[in-house]
Structure 1
Amino acid sequence: MRQKLFFGGLIVSFALSAIGHFAHWDMTLQFIISAIAVVFVAGFLGKATESVAHYAGQRLGGFLNATFGNAAELIIAIFLVKEGLFDTVKASITGSIIGNLLLVLGLSLLAGGIKFKQQFFNNQLAEHNATLMIMAVIGLFVPAVFVGAEHFTLNKDHFLSITVACILIVSYLLWLVFSMITHKDVLADKEMNADHGEEPAWSKGVSIILLIVATVMVAFVSEWLVHTLDSFSEKFGLSELFVGAFVIAIIGNAAEHSAAVMLAMKNKIGAAIEIAIGSSLQIALFVAPVLILLSTFFGDTMDIIFTPIELTAIGVAVFIAKSVSRDGTTNWYEGFLLLMVYVILGVAFYLV
């Protein structure tokens, strides 16, 4: 019954979003309908990914969930880059990183910690994740400081941005080789390989097809949502920073929200952390650099220079997430602390 209601909501919201876009309905109404449709489609994406994960294994499944969960944000960002809305893109990248590290991880630890007094995951994986998070901060922090202090020309700015982007992409790809191939056994969690007797929602072939269908649906709804952003922001007096960092990020993170929290409540905290932290790392080390490289093909290179506010938010999120996850154990109170930091940042961003 619940599944029927979900798919009913998915079909209705997607259809209304399409009609609203092509019939040129009121922009605010279009935004609301498209935002609801993105949440349903992202949930569909999460279900399809979780089903594929059953056949691929939990570690690879967590990676797939993070990857396809980020598809909504990546596609939204590509359309924003194409429109030249670089400030909104950077704000959405910031929001995605802090949203995953604070909101998704916080909800997962809180929900899992309420059901289980203490949860455990691979300590070595936690240490590597912490190092990678610091690497991401360095990759975003250094260009901002040097360009701001030395007043680089536009050519130097773009050269530095493209160079750092390439380095971050290589670092991320080698991390996948390290964690998925050469040191797979060392970083594996025992509970991440257990399915607890659960049956997948669909067969392997159907799961893959539905994963592709969900990604295509995300692409369409994302374009319709981006089309409404300017009017929505102006009407409600919201800054590009707040819309990008919180509104788009929360909507785009819907798939990770549902999957990570459900896994944590099944005592698969390692898989939940793989989704939350892995998604943030993917955004910082892969998605953001790829957007910079893609922008060059659209004729106007987006730099990697984030504002002091954005860098502060990312640095704070990385610091608290690193502190919480470094010992390989979690509880509900750590999840609560992450959520409180997210609320503090949300209020600060709203007032900008």
Structure 2
Amino acid sequence: MFGDVTASERRVVAIAFGLTCLAGALRWIDAGPILVFATSTIALAAIAYLIGEATNQLGNHLGASATGMIQSALGNLPEVFVCIFALRAGSVEVVQAALVGSILATAVLILGVALMVGSERHGLLKFESRTPRMISVLLMLAVSALVLPTLAHELHLPAAQHQQELAVVCAIALLLVFALSTRVMLRDGERKVPPEARARSNVWPMGLAVLLLAICGVATVLLADWFIEALKPASERLGISEAFAGLVIVAIASNTVGIVEIRLAFQGKADLAVSVALNGALQVAVAVIPFLVLVSFVFFGDTPFTLAIPPIMAIALTLAVLVVTLVCVDGRADVVDGAALVGLYILIAAIFWWG
């Protein structure tokens, strides 16, 4: 079963599960929240990367559309469990920051780095603009589902008295759009992650990929629990806000699969790099966020997750989507475009360093 796994892949697996065991041991001996927090974060990043690799390997055994569906379900697994445990702990601010941060990390930071790397090596990057334009429209819809409830709350409109009901309505609307986009994907061929992005020189047995995904799922549940448990005391000792931890640390740790986009851009496959990056952000915006709203409504009624986010988050997200749209709308990008995206991400992260 393990014959087709390369030595480097075995090392990644060993490191990921070794870090998971280390995080569990540190928590068991009560080594302190900072050590548990740091180890859990790194382990989450490694597990997220493994989930991405195992899902990609399934693409060698399943159809493109079927694999796209699996990736939609599993690609954000670490982040979903972190958010669920945060909701259970009543840390709604962490959930809001983590979800907004995931969109920013994927569509702004990772895409920016990918454009810089690709353009530095290949000059002006050219890519098909129809798909990025479509995704930008859907991202603006998702941003509207966050901005409008926020405005209703800040302006004290009558709808502000029904935040949870409004969040459920927005969640259902977004999920319907997600279902429609999935139907289009199945009809016209996969749009979420093109098959070329999954291509691997070595093919794992299907049983190994499924087994690894199952083990990663269990590890994710444990790590998410330990991470949230250590988050608040570690943040206080390190002098960082929980908002920054969610917006930056959780988001980046959960998006280590973004290395794929950077590698594709380095290879000159700008179409694939842009498509994968924007689709990753779209999955969070139109699938993960509404899913968590409904989970909160059903299971965590005492601490509901509404879509009335802090105004600065709404503004930052709106600006980010507008800048990404401007960068991608003409199907051309260079180092300056990538640097602008990275610079915007740094500005937003700096705002949340203090809370």
> Please, what TM-score do these two structures have when normalized by structure 1?
0.89
Post-superposition offset of 1:309: 0.7
1:165-204 matches, cutoff 5 A? 165-178=171-184, 180-184=185-189, 192-194=194-196, 198-204=200-206
- Secondary structure of the structure 1 residue equivalent to 2:155: helix
The answer to whether structure 1 residue 123 and structure 2 residue 126 are counterparts is no
Q: 1:55 & 1:272 partners in 2: Cα distance? A: 23
Q: 1:200 & 1:164 partners in 2: Cα distance? A: 43
Post-superposition offset of 1:197: 7.9
Q: Provide the identity percentage.
A: 24
Residue-pair matches, total: 347
1:1-352 matches, cutoff 5 A? 1-56=7-62, 64-65=70-71, 67-152=73-158, 156-178=162-184, 180-184=185-189, 192-194=194-196, 198-255=200-257, 257-296=258-297, 297-300=299-302, 301-352=304-355
The one-letter code sitting in structure 2 at the alignment partner of 1:347 is A
Post-superposition offset of 1:293: 1.1
Q: 2:49 & 2:80 partners in 1: Cα distance? A: 16
Q: 1:9 & 1:240 partners in 2: Cα distance? A: 27
Q: 2:250 & 2:197 partners in 1: Cα distance? A: 33
The one-letter code sitting in structure 2 at the alignment partner of 1:290 is F
Q: 1:64 & 1:265 partners in 2: Cα distance? A: 26
- Secondary structure of the structure 1 residue equivalent to 2:268: coil
Post-superposition offset of 1:58: 6.4
Q: Structure 1's 6 and 181: CA in aligned 2 closer, same or farther, altered over 3 A?
A: closer
- Secondary structure of the structure 1 residue equivalent to 2:38: helix
Q: Structure 1's 240 and 195: CA in aligned 2 closer, same or farther, altered over 3 A?
A: closer
Q: Structure 1's 110 and 64: CA in aligned 2 closer, same or farther, altered over 3 A?
A: farther
> Please, what TM-score do these two structures have when normalized by structure 2?
0.89
Q: 2:142 & 2:71 partners in 1: Cα distance? A: 20
Post-superposition offset of 1:119: 3.6
Q: 2:78 & 2:199 partners in 1: Cα distance? A: 31
What 5-or-longer segments of structure 2 have no aligned partner? 1-6
Q: Which moved more, 1:77-86 or 1:290-299?
A: 290-299
- Secondary structure of the structure 2 residue equivalent to 1:163: helix
- Secondary structure of the structure 1 residue equivalent to 2:86: helix
Asked if the contact 2:64/2:189 (under 8 Å) is kept, the reply is no
Q: 2:56 & 2:10 partners in 1: Cα distance? A: 18
Q: 1:73 & 1:117 partners in 2: Cα distance? A: 35
- Secondary structure of the structure 1 residue equivalent to 2:59: helix
The one-letter code sitting in structure 2 at the alignment partner of 1:181 is L
Q: 1:137 & 1:347 partners in 2: Cα distance? A: 21
The one-letter code sitting in structure 2 at the alignment partner of 1:99 is A
Deviations 1:303-325 (A, max 9, x none): 11011110011011101111111
